[in-house]
Structure 1
Amino acid sequence: MVSDLMRKRQARVEEIEARRVRASKLPNEERTSESESDDVFENAIDGRDKSLLEGVDPHFEWSPMESFQSVEETFTPERTGSVASYSTPYDAFRSFWHDDILKIIVDETNRYASRIPSVSLQTSWYPTNTHEVLCLFAFWMMTGIIRMPLILSYFSWDPLLRTEVFSRITTRKRYNNLVRALHFADTGASKAADCLLTTG
């Protein structure tokens, strides 16, 4: 069974590498169009876009629109966006996620964790803190930069997937416990708990 998995993984790696080699030999314009057509082809295969095409006239033709009159936009010289200046991205982040909000998250997460009727969680759980919640947020932000097929892959020791920075932030077991217990409000106080208040 392990050898089958290794063969499949190796075949997938070789397929990706072959695509990369083919793409590197194409002119820049063709690289983009080929990857876009691959995406369209894959979507057509799995049928995800079928509902989008229902009710669309397949014989649609574009026609000129003589009645359209463009209007030039006038811009004012004042800054209408954010005027706050931050010395680091962390400072900008903390301006929204300040200590008061993080304290609520920590308190509610610890409270909810104590209510979870799971022996495995209760034996391994210890109270979280502001630093650990910030590390969890950092973990999630980094998953947007370093893409993996599964959350489990971020903790993998497989040489093809291994990325040590994630295991330095937290262990897989602690990550699972935190995600399971993460709360932003006390749902135990209300009879009809709003599912938007929880993540686990």
Structure 2
Amino acid sequence: MDKTSRRIVEVLEEGSEFDSDFDDEYNVDEFAVSAGAGRDIPKDDEPNEAERNIVNTVSKAMDEAIDRQVTVSTDFVWQSNFDTFGGVPEDFSGPTPGPITDYDTPYEAFTDIWSTSFMEYIVQETNRYASQEIEKLRIAGKLKESSRLHQWTPTDVDEMYIFFAIYVFMGIDIRTSQHEYWKTTGYLEMPRFRQLMSYNRYILLSKFIHFADNSDRSQNLLQSERVVYSAKLAKIAPVLKHLNSVFSKLYNLRQDVSIDESLTLFKWRLSWVQSIRSKASHFGIKSYELCESKTGYL
């Protein structure tokens, strides 16, 4: 083996640091093909015996170096007999698991999560966004006389709670279209549902509900105590921050927890909607959640 080939093998065995002189002096791939000779050899030329010897030497040295790095010497021997296994679960010393407060009704638990103060924030941003959009259309001359936007009036906390309740009801009684919940004839009509809110008002609130001020450029990157929200999450970051906070304060998890991904159903256009065919809902927003194994509390 000549001096240059021996130097290559030594470096391959010992490893060269980033930006070392050797990396600048020798191109291993090029040298292996050219055998250290001129670098203008056509690619379709068959290597001669000297060239093949260098290639084999380099390849063997690389294989041996990799084997030495990944091989771990140990005296441990796997056995199929687990009678001698001495593992024991650790004692759970956390706070008493379960809800922090005893609730008499589900409504009390719901309002503890969706507090009045946070609902006031949602109302504020919804009214702000509605005013911005209607004014924008009016200035551009695109606000038609027949548009239902002329019927918009500012919302309040009581109405926002009713709006949320409507979505809860829709999740319990699933129908093929939103309009069916406001049917006025037929066996499937829901007269008491119509008493909650008119269909036009529901459409307006669905259009304008908002959680962040679009005019505030700082919303493009929100940072909570330990989480930085990207620009794509800017419009819902206040909701995520609020829920992560109250979920952790209102409940003490048990010892057994699970960290797994979840897919939230979402069929509209969104650049970060994913398609996971193994899920019941193929399209949605994937999130990673920490949940209690026994109850599923998030």
Q: Is the 8 A contact 2:181 2:190 kept in 1?
A: yes
Aligned AA (1:80): P
Q: Offset of 1:79 from its aligned partner?
A: 3.2
Q: Does 1:102 align with 2:119?
A: yes
- Alignment TM-score, normalising by the size of structure 1: 0.57
Q: Does 1:84 align with 2:111?
A: no
Counterpart pick for 1:128 among 155, 160, 165 = 155
Aligned AA (1:92): A
Counterpart pick for 2:129 among 91, 96, 112 = 112
1:121 and 1:67 mapped to 2: Cα distance?
73
Q: Offset of 1:75 from its aligned partner?
A: 8.0
Q: Is the 8 A contact 2:148 2:200 kept in 1?
A: no
Paired position in structure 1 for 2:63: none
Q: Is the 8 A contact 1:105 1:182 kept in 2?
A: yes
Counterpart pick for 1:155 among 182, 200, 214 = 182
Q: Is the 8 A contact 1:110 1:128 kept in 2?
A: yes
2:199 and 2:232 mapped to 1: Cα distance?
25
1:165 and 1:67 mapped to 2: Cα distance?
65
Paired position in structure 1 for 2:217: 190
Q: Is the 8 A contact 1:104 1:185 kept in 2?
A: no
Change (3 A) 1:125 1:80: same
2:171 and 2:116 mapped to 1: Cα distance?
24
2:117 and 2:109 mapped to 1: Cα distance?
16
Change (3 A) 1:158 1:84: same
Q: Offset of 1:144 from its aligned partner?
A: 1.4
Larger radius of gyration: 2
Paired position in structure 2 for 1:164: 191
1:164 and 1:68 mapped to 2: Cα distance?
67
1:185 and 1:121 mapped to 2: Cα distance?
24
Q: Is the 8 A contact 1:114 1:122 kept in 2?
A: no
Aligned AA (1:163): M
Paired position in structure 1 for 2:167: 140
Aligned residue-pair number? 134
Q: Does 1:173 align with 2:200?
A: yes
2:81 and 2:99 mapped to 1: Cα distance?
34
Pick the structure with more helix per residue. Answer: 1
1:133 and 1:67 mapped to 2: Cα distance?
61
Paired position in structure 1 for 2:272: none
Q: Offset of 1:81 from its aligned partner?
A: 2.6
- Alignment gaps of 5+ in structure 2: 1-78, 138-142, 221-230, 237-298
1:144 and 1:163 mapped to 2: Cα distance?
15
Between 127-136 and 154-163, the greater mean CA deviation after superposition: 154-163
2:171 and 2:113 mapped to 1: Cα distance?
20
2:181 and 2:91 mapped to 1: Cα distance?
46
Change (3 A) 1:104 1:67: farther
Runs of 4+ displaced beyond 6 Å? 68-75
